[in-house]
Amino acid sequence: MKYVSTRGLAPAVSFREALFTGFASDGGLLVPETIPVVTEDVLSEWRSLKFPQLATAIAGQFVDDNDIPLSILQKLFVDAFDKFRIHENGDICPLVTLRNGVKVLELFHGPTMAFKDLAMSCVSELMQYYLQISGARATALVVTSGDTGSAAIESVRNRKSINVVVMLPHGRCNPIQQRMMTTVVEDNIHVFAMEGTTDEGDVVMKQLLMDAALNDKYNMLTMNSNNWVRIMLQITAYFYAYLNTTGPSDGRRVQIVVPTGGAGNISAGFIAKLMGLPIDLKSAVNTNDTLFALLNGGRLACGVAHKTYAYSMDIQLPVNLERVLLFASGYDFDAVRNVMSTFEETGVADLPGCMLKKLRDSIECQRVGNDDIIETIRTTWLSSEYLLCPHTATAMKCALNNRIASGPDLEPGRPATSAVVIATASP
């Protein structure tokens, strides 16, 4: 499997090169040159797998044996998930059914209690594997408003071959997660506060990663979701949600509702759909609603980031939108390059009609304000005695808006579709 740029002008690279790459040389993001399709027979075989085993099986669809043999990949992932809590279902990600019928997939039982632990722990193991072979060192850049930085730091602390440089926006970070980052004393961890927003930090990070001289000197990469391997590992949650919600050959589709900031998670869900998984995707955004506006009006434009209770979603330009557009266009590199070039030059870009139609057919999006976040947390606690974090509350609000639920006590007339909310952080 080779990896190509969303903009179509950079040479294809190997899995190892994709892991240690921030951006392609033409400024795009890396994606697999083809999307593997999973057959019903393979899906049936995967039904018995626990989350770590499923992650290995899915990664094996994108990683050739000459990159990493499957037996080594399995061992790396076993080590990666060793710090995760095992639950009553014998797995690290419980699927909880609430009294309102909605299922919640809890992805936050790792060391920093956020879903990014799942992918970060594997990325760290993969980096260490290659660096031990080469004897090299690497510098990982991270821009964060909280959960990404905490998970990245925890995954690599005390690794002598990996330095992490974290940039967090001053005054825009959850105080608890800020302390989780700034109180780490290991020599390979470096945390800086920056003026401005996460979006502005992303611009600086791209400039650094695109600087060839700096890359030659420091062997730089990113552990943000710009990194393809982060996206690859997040695909697992969608297969896990589907396989643990449906039975063999029952014909149901599953709607998966995803809190969306940088659009890495929704990109992973889009890939899962392209792989043949019968799911419907619903994206929940806060008032930083670029994706919502794009789907409704067909125009890509960004404003100033707003501070919300769902702070990790306070992003005006989702960095993975470029990947989403490529998948929606059917890998039309020229169209994506034209959209992104126009946007970078003028701040505004209109999507081609065919791309916009496929995007609307593939992803539904709803916007959730601060008042609705608080009200959803309150009502979910009162109705189900289940406490949501603000990010997960945005997805729960969208699921309840559609009145789609799963479970044995469905109201008459409800569609035969199950709803699974992705829970991204511990409350």
CA-to-CA distance for 238 and 278, rounded, in angstroms?
10
Alpha-carbon 407 to chain mean position: 27
Question: Considering Cα of 326, then 330, then 335, then 337, what sign does the dihedral take?
Answer: positive
Selected catalytic residue, list 103, 116, 282, 397: 116
DSSP class per residue in 338-361 = HHHHHHHHHSEEEPPHHHHHHHHH
CB atoms within 10 A of CB 170: 11
CA-to-CA distance for 4 and 225, rounded, in angstroms?
16
Q: The tokens 């406490």 sit on which residue?
A: 387
Residue type, 381: W
Residue type, 58: I
Q: The tokens 């029952």 sit on which residue?
A: 250
Q: Helix, strand, coil: what percent of the chain each, to 5? A: 45, 15, 40
**Beta-bridge partners for 104:** 96, 421
CA-to-CA distance for 197 and 269, rounded, in angstroms?
26
CA-to-CA distance for 284 and 264, rounded, in angstroms?
13
Helix (H, G, I), strand (E, B) or coil at 271: helix
Alpha helices in 190-282 (DSSP H): 198-209, 212-218, 228-243, 264-274
273 carries an active-site annotation:
no
Number of helices followed by number of strands (H, E) in the chain: 17, 14
List the catalytic residues.
116
